[in-house]
Structure 1
Amino acid sequence: MHSLRYFLTATSGVPNFPEFVGAAVVDDVLVGYCDSDAKTAKPKQDWMKEFIKDDPTRGEWYAEKCFRNRQVFRDRMEGLKRRLNQTGGVHVLQRMNGCEWDDETGEVVGYNQYGYDGEDFIALDLRTLTWIAPKQQAFITKLRWDAEEERLKYNEYYYIYKCPEWLKNYVHYGKSLLQRTDLPTVSLLQKTPSSPVCCHATGFYPKSAAMFWRRDGEEIHEDVAPGEILPNHDGSFQMSVDLKLSSVAPGDWSRYECVFRLSGVEHDVVTGLDRARIRTNWVTPSEFPTGAVMGGVVPLLLLAIGIAGFMWRWHKNGFRLANTSDSSSSTDRDSATARTTSFQPLS
């Protein structure tokens, strides 16, 4: 399964951040970027630079789309603020659009959806060629956009035919990166002797992977807490799955295994539950310094405990895709953009 997604973000009232940001992502890899400060579209992968060199019109198209969407999103943002009587504060308008293509079955899925201030706002249903408005505030927009038949027909053509065509070209140019297979480094981690054992895998590619614990060869779900797949800075991924040791009898450790499974790879990466393999920063009481040294350690520990009392929570939603009937520096800012495109959901 391959994907081409565009994330467009307009902000109002966000300090030290461009009022408009655009990102093009192929198979979860950032390949293009633009913002209202840079005022130009920049390829972010060597193979994308080669693609634009062979087809300069594509680079011109991205630059034009970036400039045009900056104006469109600014107008839409101001219109929404007026309609919702919002005179100040922080506001975020986003669009996520693109397509997915299964290179085995040929199935195509297209989507075009908007979110406002972290909530679903409006989305295109390609099966009926109508807009879905999950919020009452978007109903006026739905009626107006449903009446734009020419635009609806163009959306149908673009997401079912044109977008997959472009995606296939990108996959061809970037196959050395996008179609590689990297197995992870797997470690067993534990905070304290009573904490769950975390089986952590990092450095794998592609993203289509699964990780679980099993006992006597059978996958288990009780007392197991799987984590989500997260990106690494180098384009690879990481994930983890925890096992509560309270459910494991001391003599039964050898019956448990952590299994990492990567799509397209025949053999799993299996790591047995072995106390000697667990990595931890835990220090036993007998290892603490004594005497004069202890006097300096205790205040530091108390300070650490005090700091640990402050906790921040962050919440994140995912996209729901609509199927078709057929199917610090500027570099730091670019990296932050890929994250920004997911902190406010579009669905």
Structure 2
Amino acid sequence: MQITHERVMELLASIKHPAMKQDIVSLGIAQEVAVEGNAVSFILRLIEPNDAFGGSLLRACKRALEAEYPGVEVRGSVQEAAPAKVEAPPRKGGVAGVKHIVAIASGKGGVGKSTITVNLAVALARRGHRVGVLDADVFGPSLPLMLGVVDARPEVINDEGEDLIIPVEAHGVRMLSMGFFVSPSDALVWRGPMASNGLKQILHMGLWGELDYLLIDLPPGTSDIHLTVVQEMSLTGAVIVSTPQSVALADAQKAISMFSNHEVNVPMLGLVENMAWFEAEELPGKRYYIFGKGGAESLAGELGIPFLGSVPIVEGIREGGDSGSPVASADGPLAQAFDGLAAALEAQVNR
């Protein structure tokens, strides 16, 4: 009797899976059925992991085929189902609940990047946003001092086997810094990979929760830390801080180039000019452009990137940073300057 593919399929369809109560053809278990002369080959691909009926189904198929075609060569095999993938429970730490992650960078140290970061964070919080700050300047963490929480120590908890660091909150801003874990008088002597790993730990163990903005205060220049931040999270964009003087602008341009590099490709949200001018209290309206005039705004125009605004060099801003009371947390012209920066950043993020 000639063996036909159609009849073989009918015979296999007569075999029902004992537990599923349907035939193995309808269930899609019988696959790759082929007839070659006096031989019939097929694979039984089981649906459920650890299915105990694979062997009995194979034997039933052989019996049906041999009864219909005496002397037939049956080449059947059983393929176990892949184990069910167990989904890991969602992590509570990390930045999954953060809407916008913004890197604050500068090509050069001493331009007031951390001052801008702290006051910008406070200004965003005063505008009704949920804000966090990560002090990524591992070797020179200054945010605990500037937010008035030098003596604070973040609580570390274990939640269902996951170690979590609860950020310190000040002026409506959640913040974590390496400065919380080392003595203020001790120098942190780490090679690049150690510093990067330390930052990763703080970032991913941080119980940030739901945030509208997480500002990352990066170290000056371009380093392993910058690459770690870019690789570990999806940045909304970067803000570059510079003074108006040429030497600072040259380094700011390098930082802009790094973020714009095709391998990094982080959007440029804008440039901030810090220490733009000095105005003496006894001579209101008389501005002294100590570091030059409008250099950052001109550079932004040349490069085609947004200019977020200027901040003057004022004793009150320095005093606020030293005392842990950012000027953006109070009212007055200085707070309005940082509120303007916050509004400009919002506009760029929401474009």
- Class of the TM-score when normalised by the shorter of the 2 chains: under 0.3
Point out the structure with the larger strand share.
1
TM-score, normalised with respect to structure 2 = 0.19
Which one has the largest radius of gyration?
2
